[in-house]
Structure 1
Amino acid sequence: MATFVSVPLKKSTEVDLVKPLTKFISATYSAAEDQGEYVRAAEELNKLRKSAVGRPLDKHESSLEVLLRYYDQLCAIEPKFPFSENQLCLTFTWKDAFDKGSLFGGSVKLALASLGYEKSCVLFNIGALASQIAYEQNFDNDEGLKTAAKYYQLASGAFSYIKDTVLSALNREPTMDISPDAVGALSQIMLAQAQEVFFLKATSDKMKDAIIARLANQAADFYGDAFKQCQYKENLPKEVLPVLAAKHCIMQANAEYHQSLLAKQQKKFGEEIGRLQHATELVKTVASRYDEYINVKDLSDKISRALTAAKKDNDFIYHDRVPDLKDLEAIGKAALVKSTVIKVPISQKFTDLFEKMVPLAVQHSMSAYNSRKAEIVNRLIGQMREATNLSNGVLASLNLPAAVEDLSGDSIPQSILEKSRAIIQQGGLQSIDQLIKDLPELLQRNREILDESVRILDEEEATDNELRNKFGQRWQRTASNDLYKPLRTEGGNLCKFLDQAVQADKVVKERYSTHRDMIALLCKPEAELNAAIPSANPAKTLQGSEVVSVLRALLANVNEVKMEREKLENDIKSAQCDMTSKFLTALAQDGAINEEAISVTELDNIYGGYTQKVQQSLKIQEEILGKIQNSHQEFSTMKQSNADANQREEMLKKLAAAHDSYVELSNNLREGTKVCTIHY
């Protein structure tokens, strides 16, 4: 009597997971340590798939464990990789589990670039293998019954989960075996079989007849529902329907038999006979219609013996009226089973191969956060550098600090010597010339790469439009214009960036041309530099004067502000916050990330204080420069005026301005080269 239904496994073709995952990892993660770890994880994932779906599986819990771990891993990587047609495209091919193939050896199969499809098929195999493991159990012992009930309920849960999710996971019609109707029917079959196992256990444990009757009646109900759901499923094996119909009748017969025993205990002898007569008709139906699939001889004999004895006792002793079938009280039901809820991870031994890799939602939030952070950092640093350039320009125009160092009139001021040494240490003219030479080549290479990328996108879109016009509604691929819209937007941004770089290149060259001669002079040996600077009569009247002391003190204040600003710039650049943890927490708690709200709050916490310090630095500099200009005016009035002194002061101003321009140009060119190299 204990005939159960098991489900065949789906078969899949081999898929190389390593190459596409490695390509994405290399393009996304810059740290060599992360790349190596993730590539090794991709290789392990590929091995896990081969073990789970690339070979025949034994009907054993160890094989099921491999499937569970692979399914859990698919769920774990889904939010971490951009699986889609236009990003990380992996195509999975699976055959229909119930299709036996045509006369020519063909079979129904479906290939989709969808991780959701892979998950659904793997989960189907989890349910199928669980049903096979349950089927193989020994139903004559307690341990076998417990194991069978456990795996039938797992199978029911797996099929039920597919029913609820498969259409949204695929966005198209699946093969018949994983269609909502088919897996819904399979789920109900497994649930009915789990309930029957509990009936068998209750019978084996000699529980009360009232309980056994309700368990059997519930199993009959489940089998009836399963039969209705399978009636029009042409792709299911032909023996499924008669087995379900037979089981429906058999479990009803068992329910009536045990309820008759309860009636006998309650001295309701007429009811006992009525129920045994109904049970007899039920087993006769099975014997006449479904004997090819299920043998009910033992049950039939048991019911027949009970009915014969009951009639004999009633005829000779009790003479109780036998009620009509319609007058018998309905037998209660007791459902002791339910579909196992599929919660990831299903396997208790699961360990995420990509545990350190964060979900894409977090990656995107981190990218947006870093853009906001870069905007703030660049603005603050830009304000400070602009203020420093203004300060340098004002001091250069006033020939400071050279003017207060040059009271002798015949030696190179110390500040000019320091500027000369700084330029020589940074490579002098040769360094600038090389940077200017390299930049156009990098820009041109970026332009060529961008133009070629746009050409490929245009060509692909034209082909897509041509095929769409040719095949009409049969061409279901996402439109090229929608598919590659993010790439075109990025291409437009890069084009604007290159245009701006070209304009900036012109400005740099013009400025370099203006100051090149003075920069070249600063690169000369000290003796040649001194000879090139006009001499002047000593300004003895200013030596030791109060105005010189005040100017020197103010210049020291300016240098102090600059030094504090350099430290502040380093602090701003190095400020960090573990935003990954904050985004992960938000994703876990809310299921989504409000990146803007979280980022703005954290950035204000991090950089709010720095913003105040920058503004304070700018204000202090403005006050000091105002005092310097006033003191310099007094200094100039007191200074002895002659032509030589004016020529000398003008030369010193140009040298100071040339140094400042060299530093600024060098920094700008190096940053420009770095950016172009990154894009390249």
Structure 2
Amino acid sequence: MSELLGIPLKRTLEVDFAAELSKLIDATSFQTASFFTSDISKVAAARNNAITPDISIDGLDILKTYHTILLQLEKKFPNNQIEFTWFQTLSQKSRGCSQYSLQWEEITIIYNIGCMYSLLALNSNDSAESLKKSCLYFQNSAGCFKYVLEHQATLKSTPVVDDSTASTLTNLMLAQAQECFWFKAVQDNHKDSLIAKLSQQIVDFYGKAISDAQKSGLIRNDWINHLKAKKAYFCAVTYYRMGLSFNEKKQFGNMVKSLQTALKFVNESKLSSQAKFKTVIESTLKEAQRDNDFIYLQQLPLELPTIKPALMVKPSPVATLLPSTNNTEQLFKDLIPIEVMDYCTAYNERQDKYIEQRVRDPLNSLSKLLKGSMITFPIPQELVTINEMELIQYQSALNNLHLNNKNIQSELENIEEILNEEASSDNQLRIKHGTLNWTLPESSSANASYYEKLSKLKGYLNQGSAIDKQTDELFQSIDKALITAKIELPEATDPLTNKIKKVMQERNDYIEKTERKSSEYRILPKIISSYKKSGTSDFEAIFTDHLTYFDEDLRYVNNTKQENMRLIEEIELKEKNKPSEDDIEAKKIERLDPRELYIEDLKYSFKLLDEVKENLSAGTTFYENLINSTSNFRNEVQEYDTARRMQKTKLEESLTAEGQ
């Protein structure tokens, strides 16, 4: 057995890993790089050893060690901070590629491990043990190339090799592994029918490799020719062995047909071993033809039975080839990675949300409910005038809403124009070439989902326009002179008014105190302590316990609910004791109270202003979301339109060519 191919290792430029890691640690870690000098040196040495390994088991171990280190680095550091450069070695011209990606480096090392296994598989003789080892190494190599093919799709960068090349190498390695198995069967004098099935599987693997190689941007023509020669050779082997098997079954017509087919394929092969094998086939065929012509007189069949391949090899799972990171020296144990900081940030946001939902919002809602229950009472509540500049800002915000509405309307019209033009183009081409020839789906069905989405977006836009108009009307109805003028009122003499005012101020103060307390009591120290002990990133239980610190604040909110109910009861009682409608003189005096009239007007204007502000805030969010949705929709429609244009061009060129 000879003429097997090994895959050359990729080559790379040196990287000053020590300097790059040091900068990365200083920029992203709590600690400085000086704390990890030993680990940094080990990483740098591991890569330096891995870039030019010997073709040996020791060289293979060096690659695996470096790969294990890369897996550790991926967990500790951002993926896109260090640049690596590797050169292709399959094509006649070496082409380099550079990427800022630890994951890309890791998959490239898997590729080189696959190359190393293929080269080690060649360093064998024809002994049974050596064949077994070569077969295993080729399967290991195939597993590595399959891993590259499957995992490089997740890369946000240039692939390690193109998919066609990775598939070619996978099938080539499987073909050569199967060839080892076949050769052992030949040595052990197994039945010819079994050897033929083993050989047919080799043919299938080489067929797949050739198909992918012809689409590859890296596989050289001399390699493709070699693969074709190997396929033709093993086609000849398959039919030669089937011919011998037919002889055992006394199917002499089939035997002659098989040997003739074998001779045809061996003539197509350019392998160095072809000539010797051709002589064997010719000799056997000559004898078989003579015996059949003078003795057996069996008719040669038009077709031979299909040969079912016997698959004996498969790609080895990469996980079984590499050492576990749990059983290797752990580097940067005390380093606090960016991931942990991200967790802290996320938990801080959740803590702020917790305080907002459990303390701030409930207290504000209770005060709002209390305030709402006092609408008929002449109580000045937080009546603070605003300056004219603030009103100008609100007007400017309103103008922005109108502008956003107009811009989105224009964008939707552009999208609709794209869809209409696509439909018109499709209709014209359909008329030009005929419905039977124009096989693309009609635009009426292909565009339906886009028109439906367009209609929905227009509906949302119309809703926003109606709300904007309503907000505009609200803003214009505000007594702007009133809310910008200085308030001059006598001090309230009503005890209930003063009591409620004091309660609401206390609640506002408590909200500020709790938010300040939350900002000072963060989870970061607990997470760092837990991470150093366990090395895991499951902090949910710690966060749950952390929040118990605010239990007293939740109790305060619950007590405030009871207080709110009592105050509302007092308000209702006072409302009940107000002068009745029949007490004309009392009601007259109440209506003519200028203080109450002034306060009611002021409250009403501020109420309108609050509604305007709420609408402005909601409107801003609404248009931001609608702008994003419209932009995404526009990109989607443009991609669809581009795809349809390409389909139309391709189909029209095809129809034009047929017409010629």
Amino acid at match of 2:85: T
Amino acid at match of 1:220: V
Report 1:177-576 matches (<5 A): 178-233=161-216, 235-286=218-269, 290=270, 293-324=271-302, 326=303, 328-343=304-319, 346-347=322-323, 350-354=328-332, 357=335, 360-369=338-347
Find the residue that maps to 2:258 and give its secondary structure. Answer: helix
How far off is 1:79 after superposition? 2.7
Equivalent residue, structure 1, for 2:134? 148
Deviations 1:108-149 (A, max 9, x none): 3222222233223322222222211112222x1112212212
What CA distance in whole angstroms lies between the structure 2 residues aligned with 1:355 and 1:259? Answer: 62
Q: Does 1:171 align with 2:169?
A: no
Find the residue that maps to 1:92 and give its secondary structure. Answer: strand
Equivalent residue, structure 2, for 1:69? 65
How far off is 1:304 after superposition? 2.8
Equivalent residue, structure 2, for 1:481? none
1:607 is aligned, of 534, 549, 568, to 549
How far off is 1:598 after superposition? 5.4
What CA distance in whole angstroms lies between the structure 2 residues aligned with 1:72 and 1:576? Answer: 26
Equivalent residue, structure 1, for 2:85? 93
**Preserved contact between residue 216 and residue 254 of structure 1 (Cα < 8 Å):** yes
How far off is 1:303 after superposition? 2.4
Long gaps (5+) in structure 2: 356-519, 559-660
How far off is 1:255 after superposition? 1.4
Cα distance, 1:195–1:359 mapped onto 2, change above 3 Å: farther
Q: Taking every aligned residue pair, what percent have the same amino acid on both sides? A: 29
Select the structure of larger CA radius of gyration: 1
Find the residue that maps to 1:178 and give its secondary structure. Answer: coil
TM-score, normalised with respect to structure 2:
0.53
**Preserved contact between residue 29 and residue 335 of structure 2 (Cα < 8 Å):** no
What CA distance in whole angstroms lies between the structure 1 residues aligned with 2:115 and 2:527? Answer: 50
Amino acid at match of 1:98: L
How far off is 1:180 after superposition? 1.8
What CA distance in whole angstroms lies between the structure 2 residues aligned with 1:160 and 1:277? Answer: 37
How far off is 1:36 after superposition? 5.6
Equivalent residue, structure 2, for 1:43? 41
**Preserved contact between residue 365 and residue 583 of structure 1 (Cα < 8 Å):** no
Equivalent residue, structure 2, for 1:553? none
How far off is 1:244 after superposition? 0.7
Cα distance, 1:356–1:300 mapped onto 2, change above 3 Å: farther
Cα distance, 1:346–1:574 mapped onto 2, change above 3 Å: closer
What CA distance in whole angstroms lies between the structure 2 residues aligned with 1:213 and 1:582? Answer: 60
What CA distance in whole angstroms lies between the structure 1 residues aligned with 2:198 and 2:98? Answer: 43
Q: Does 1:81 align with 2:64?
A: no
Cα distance, 1:277–1:259 mapped onto 2, change above 3 Å: same
Amino acid at match of 1:127: G
Deviations 1:329-381 (A, max 9, x none): 1011111112223338723675443456566434421454467779999xxxx
Equivalent residue, structure 1, for 2:9? 9
Cα distance, 1:196–1:27 mapped onto 2, change above 3 Å: same
Deviations 1:307-337 (A, max 9, x none): 233334334443322223x2x1101111111
How far off is 1:248 after superposition? 0.8
**Preserved contact between residue 130 and residue 154 of structure 1 (Cα < 8 Å):** yes
Deviations 1:443-478 (A, max 9, x none): xxxxxxxxxxxxxxxxxxxxxxxxxxxxxxxxxxxx
Amino acid at match of 1:607: Y
What CA distance in whole angstroms lies between the structure 2 residues aligned with 1:262 and 1:212? Answer: 10
Amino acid at match of 1:601: T
**Preserved contact between residue 283 and residue 296 of structure 1 (Cα < 8 Å):** yes
Find the residue that maps to 1:111 and give its secondary structure. Answer: strand
Find the residue that maps to 2:210 and give its secondary structure. Answer: helix
**Preserved contact between residue 369 and residue 599 of structure 1 (Cα < 8 Å):** no
Equivalent residue, structure 1, for 2:428? none
How far off is 1:612 after superposition? 8.7
Q: Does 1:160 align with 2:146?
A: yes
Find the residue that maps to 2:12 and give its secondary structure. Answer: coil
Equivalent residue, structure 1, for 2:115? 128
**Preserved contact between residue 243 and residue 294 of structure 1 (Cα < 8 Å):** no
Amino acid at match of 1:65: D
Cα distance, 1:581–1:97 mapped onto 2, change above 3 Å: same
Deviations 1:212-260 (A, max 9, x none): 2111101101111111221254642332112111111111111112222
What CA distance in whole angstroms lies between the structure 2 residues aligned with 1:312 and 1:581? Answer: 84
How far off is 1:210 after superposition? 2.5
Find the residue that maps to 1:112 and give its secondary structure. Answer: strand
Equivalent residue, structure 2, for 1:476? none
What CA distance in whole angstroms lies between the structure 2 residues aligned with 1:297 and 1:602? Answer: 80
Aligned Cα root-mean-square deviation (Å): 4.2
Deviations 1:541-570 (A, max 9, x none): xxxxxxxxxxxxxxxxxxxxxxxxxxxx99
**Preserved contact between residue 260 and residue 276 of structure 1 (Cα < 8 Å):** yes
How far off is 1:199 after superposition? 1.1
TM-score, normalised with respect to structure 1:
0.52
Cα distance, 1:575–1:226 mapped onto 2, change above 3 Å: closer
Cα distance, 1:358–1:342 mapped onto 2, change above 3 Å: farther
Amino acid at match of 2:546: L
How far off is 1:52 after superposition? 0.1
What CA distance in whole angstroms lies between the structure 1 residues aligned with 2:556 and 2:525? Answer: 16
What CA distance in whole angstroms lies between the structure 1 residues aligned with 2:216 and 2:9? Answer: 18
Long gaps (5+) in structure 1: 102-106, 378-568, 588-594, 617-680
Equivalent residue, structure 2, for 1:108? 95
Report 1:642-653 matches (<5 A): none
Amino acid at match of 1:580: Y
Find the residue that maps to 1:79 and give its secondary structure. Answer: helix
What CA distance in whole angstroms lies between the structure 2 residues aligned with 1:576 and 1:155? Answer: 42
Q: Does 1:58 align with 2:54?
A: yes
Cα distance, 1:123–1:573 mapped onto 2, change above 3 Å: closer
**Preserved contact between residue 263 and residue 282 of structure 2 (Cα < 8 Å):** yes
